[in-house]
A and B are shown apart, each in its own frame.
Chain A
């Protein structure tokens, strides 16, 4: 980007002048270049070993991707029909609204029937890395080709395994929840009861250290990390050989704990106070899918480490129209009204002064999307937003407006079902009348920002000329620099932009060469490492970071307004990459009306 200052300067607080920021990025790198050797510090380079291991496990990701696509196309008709049919019956179902005594989840434990199917490649690439592994990996690669066609199967895998199984021991990433008496509550793989002995061992380790007035946070054993998180009477443990940073794994345990609270609230602590023998598993009955889906999202959803949410790109007026009707019902006693499409927000509104944390949104959306029962009827379920109030339940009215789009109305009143149903009918009518739902469908098909469309040097900022997301992409004069064959200009492959004030991020669509699920997962892992090192309390926080390894050039730039993460071709030129990042920031500014939810009251304070 040229450093001429032709563009108008915006509000310094919400609209930092892109030219001034671009200068500062280049300046920062200019000075950094003097002190930094070209080779990155070893600890941030992925070892070749890790790359090989990582690449195999990535197949998991493919499954959800393809699941989403298939879900959108294949089951569309059927789901709608059944939804319509169920809707006429809904009053009957509601006669007995789910009481707070249930976990609020209608599924059955049996829904984890997918257990037998072998989708777990992670085991194949198990951390030992001996000669055997090579062979196994080849096998699993073959599997992955088939499996990536199939859907990601929700629910628990490999229930038949226990800690004596070789396959169980080879899995790359385990998650456990147990009580402080050592009783198993949840295990990602294997049957909890069969793992009772293993669970007891984990408790013994934690309790032994606690007895000495200390706390165990991390144990490294070879290339495995064992991460512990103690939350009162609940212990959470991750055992991983994925080489993710400790902070990331710990963050994932926090989210799993949050997911548990979302289902049960912190009142479970009281059960343990009254009765240390308390067995929590029945309370979580049927929620295996919720946890496995959350764990799966650790490898494809950047919201899990960015602690921000993302919006579906929509014309400003369209989002405004959705927001207006949500605001309307929020004024009638609804605490939060949220309209989402898959994991992307269309609009959301909170009652006066109520604020919603992005992590709560992530956990709520995961809960709703992973529970099949929400798709087929309108539901009213007690849920807890752990960042809002971990102690108590709210009630969520959930209704799917189409296959991917769902409305959530949260209230404090347990008998508000009929009121919320009326609200939903009103909202649905307005959304249909103002074409919001068809715009949502269109946006889903068009996708968001594509690196190939990154505009060249900023045009004069008169709205019409700046590239708009809503326009068909071929009408854009997309500029491609000659030196790259694939990706965007200057070898830009992908970027993520996180707005600090908005609590939102935008991520570019995946383009070649990041076009396979495994490459996408690998890139997310790389971003996650980058994020962790940028926010490292010991050596950070940092303002900029530039890494080059055999996979990418990664660039991160953090200001008090935003964080930008960008991935380039590993041969990309540093100076050009930096200029390109400035252009990305400019681009995001230009289209912020469409990619972000602006002026959403819940976040603005």
Chain B
């Protein structure tokens, strides 16, 4: 019964501006890539259906703007996220250095119940650029950082060539499944006849 239920996952994509968050989304959802840079304003919302281990997932992807002036949207946007994807550009050291800030900012604003085990995924994007010759962040360095933050899964991707994008999002679904909370029995109170006296006086205005 519960296993047949479709799951909706809220996925937040974070990272510096220009690292290719929107391109990754477009490649993943629409299988399209454009060389033109178009800054995201606020956030874009995309939906993608995913199958994982005979379960249906709907990814509700929040593609946020990387610019600092949109940071104030954080609390509202991050609430109730199931997974956070941190993206950096392997050719820009600063975008890698900032991963830590993005991660901490997310944990502060979203305040998940179990921050230690909150599912993140890290994507090193743009590995195709200049055939990898302009690369400044090594895979080893990136993996070391991920390991130090509780073994965050790491993927190297190319939004342009569609490399590894699918696998990265499969991992997101897998993580969410692993992190699925125990189904709790929904058990509201029953009206207490004794307590009714109180409720009437406060609640009933008719």
- A-side residues, CB < 8 A to B, are 100-101, 103, 162, 179-184, 193-201, 203-204, 207-208, 210-211, 264-268, 271, 274-279, 281-283, 353-355, 357-358, 382, 384, 387-395, 412-414, 503, 603
Contact = CB atoms under 8 A, between A and B. Distances in A.
A204 B10 contact: no
B79 interface: yes
B43 A204 contact: yes
Interface residues of B, number: 46
A194 to B, nearest CB: 6
Q: Which of B6, B10, B191 has the most CB of A within 10 A?
A: B191
B186 A264 contact: yes
A412 B196 CA distance: 10
Contacts of B133: none
14 contacts: A101-B185, A193-B8, A193-B49, A196-B45, A197-B60, A211-B75, A211-B76, A267-B186, A354-B200, A355-B206, A357-B206, A392-B192, A393-B191, A395-B190
B193 A353 contact: no
Interface in B163-205: 181, 184-193, 196, 199-200, 203-204
Given A196-B58, A207-B76, A211-B72, A387 B186 contact: no
B93 interface: no
Contacts of B120: none
A394 B191 contact: yes
Nearest to A307: B206
Contact of A207 (B5, B77, B187): B77
A277 B78 CA distance: 10
Contact of A389 (B45, B58, B62, B191): B191
B80 A276 contact: yes
Contacts of B60: 182-183, 196-197, 199-200
Contact of B199 (A162, A183, A275, A389): A389
Nearest to A162: B47
A183 B189 contact: no
A204 B58 contact: no
A208 B46 contact: no
Given A101-B187, A277-B80, A277-B81, A204 B42 contact: yes
B7 interface: yes
B36 interface: no
B108 interface: no
Contact of A196 (B8, B42, B185, B186): B8
B45 to A, nearest CB: 4
Contacts of A266: 188
A180 B47 contact: no
B127 to A, nearest CB: 28
Contacts of B113: 274-275
Contact of B47 (A101, A194, A412, A603): A194
B contact patch SS:
mixed
Nearest to A198: B45
Contact of B80 (A103, A183, A388, A414): A183
Contact of A197 (B2, B47, B82, B190): B47
Contacts of A204: 42-43, 45, 73, 76-77
A387 B77 contact: no
A182 B80 contact: yes
A100 B188 contact: yes
A194 B6 CA distance: 12
Interface in B62-97: 62, 72-73, 75-77, 79-82
Contacts of A103: 186
Given A183-B10, A208-B73, 15 more contacts: A162-B47, A180-B79, A197-B60, A207-B76, A211-B72, A267-B186, A276-B79, A277-B82, A277-B181, A388-B204, A391-B199, A392-B190, A394-B191, A412-B190, A503-B206
A279 B79 contact: no
Nearest to A285: B5
A271 B185 CA distance: 11
Contact of A283 (B112, B186, B206): B186
A353 B206 CA distance: 12
Given A181-B80, A207-B76, A392 B47 contact: no
A200 B206 contact: no
Contacts of A395: 190
A273 to B, nearest CB: 10
Question: Which 4 A-B residue pairs are closest in the complex by CB-CB distance?
Answer: A181-B80, A207-B76, A267-B188, A196-B60
Given A196-B60, A197-B46, A210-B76, A181 B190 contact: no
A274 B46 CA distance: 27
B76 A414 contact: no
B113 to A, nearest CB: 7
Contacts of A265: 188-189
Given A193-B6, A276-B79, A353 B200 contact: yes
Given A201-B45, A503-B206, A271 B186 contact: yes
A100 B189 CA distance: 9
A301 B206 CA distance: 21
B72 to A, nearest CB: 7
Contacts of B42: 204, 208
Contacts of A193: 6, 8, 47, 49, 58
Nearest to A109: B5
Nearest to B204: A355
A172 B22 CA distance: 33
Contacts of A283: 186
A200 B62 contact: yes
A264 B186 CA distance: 9
A17 to B, nearest CB: 27
Nearest to A605: B206
A361 to B, nearest CB: 11
Contacts of B187: 100-101, 267
A271 B98 CA distance: 34
Nearest to B62: A200
B198 to A, nearest CB: 10
Q: Which of A276, A389, A392 has the most CB of B within 10 A?
A: A389
B2 to A, nearest CB: 8
A162 B6 CA distance: 17
Contact of A393 (B45, B47, B62, B190): B190
Contacts of B79: 180-182, 207, 276
Contacts of A503: 206
